[in-house]
Chain A
Amino acid sequence: SQQGEEDPQALSIQEGENATMNCSYKTSINNLQWYRQNSGRGLVHLILIRSNEREKHSGRLRVTLDTSKKSSSLLITASRAADTASYFCATSREDTSYDKVIFGPGTSLSVIP
C-alpha cells in the first residue's frame, strides 16, 4: 500500500507550543500534501511538497520531505487553540495512479488554551 501513516495518532499540547506530526509512506511519490480537518468539516489543503523539494513554509507551518526515508513532517509553530483538528498527509504516487491521492489515518491534535 502506498498510503501514508501519520504518527502520533493523537497529540495534546499547550497553546504556544510547537506541534510536530510525522508521515511515512511506502512507495515513491510525486508529491505529498497535508490537509487539516476540523471535526465534522471538510478537508482544508495546507501545503503541497513535491518529491524534488525538501522543505516548504507557509505562515506558521513548515513541511519537510525526506524521500530517502520516505517520510515527511508537519511542524506548526506557536500553536493556537484554533489549530485543534485532525491532520492528514496524502500522497500521489510517482509511477501510476497519479489521478488520485491516498490519505493516511491522520493525527488528532488538541491545543489546550
Chain B
Amino acid sequence: EPEVTQTPSHQVTQMGQEVILRCVPISNHLYFYWYRQILGQKVEFLVSFYNNEISEKSEIFDDQFSVERPDGSNFTLKIRSTKLEDSAMYFCASSEWTGRNTIYFGEGSWLTVV
C-alpha cells in the first residue's frame, strides 16, 4: 500500500540552527500538509500546500517556517532558526484531493532542539 515517507526519523539540533525535514508524499496525491505534535499534546495543523503554493497556514507557521516542493516527489519543511519550543514530532501528510478526502500521514520526524 502506498505510504508517506519521512526523513529523518529523529534529529537533534542546536538552538538557532536550521533544520530541514523531508517527506515523500503518496505519488498521485495533490495536497500536502505538515502537522506537529508536542510531546503529550494534540496534533496541530501547520500548513497545507497545493499547486506549488501554500493554500492555508496556521498561526504557528510564522516566518521561521517555510515549505517547498523542490522536485516532483519531495516536500520539505524548513525551520530557519530553531527554538527549544520547536521540539516536537512533525508529521507530513498528503491527500488525493482536499481535506474532504482521506489524509494519510507519515511516521513522523522527531525533532529535539537542545
Contacts and interface: CB of A to CB of B under 8 A. Distances in A.
Interface of A: 30-31, 33, 35, 40-45, 48, 88, 90, 92, 97-106
A101 B103 CA distance: 8
Nearest to A51: B100
A99 B42 contact: no
B16 interface: no
Interface string B96-114: 0011111111111010000
A42 B107 contact: yes
A105 B38 CA distance: 12
Interface residues of B, number: 27
A103 B56 contact: no
A30 B102 CA distance: 12
B76 interface: no
Interface in B12-55: 31, 33, 35, 41-45, 48, 50, 55
Contacts of A35: 105
B91 interface: yes
B111 to A, nearest CB: 13
A43 B105 contact: yes
A101 B101 CA distance: 10
Given A30-B100, A43-B43, A88-B43, A100 B105 contact: no
B98 A98 contact: yes
26 contacts: A30-B99, A31-B100, A41-B107, A42-B91, A42-B107, A43-B91, A43-B93, A44-B105, A48-B102, A88-B42, A92-B98, A92-B99, A98-B100, A99-B31, A99-B33, A99-B50, A99-B55, A99-B98, A100-B33, A100-B56, A100-B99, A101-B103, A103-B35, A103-B42, A104-B42, A105-B41
Given A99-B50, A100-B45, A104-B42, A45 B102 contact: yes
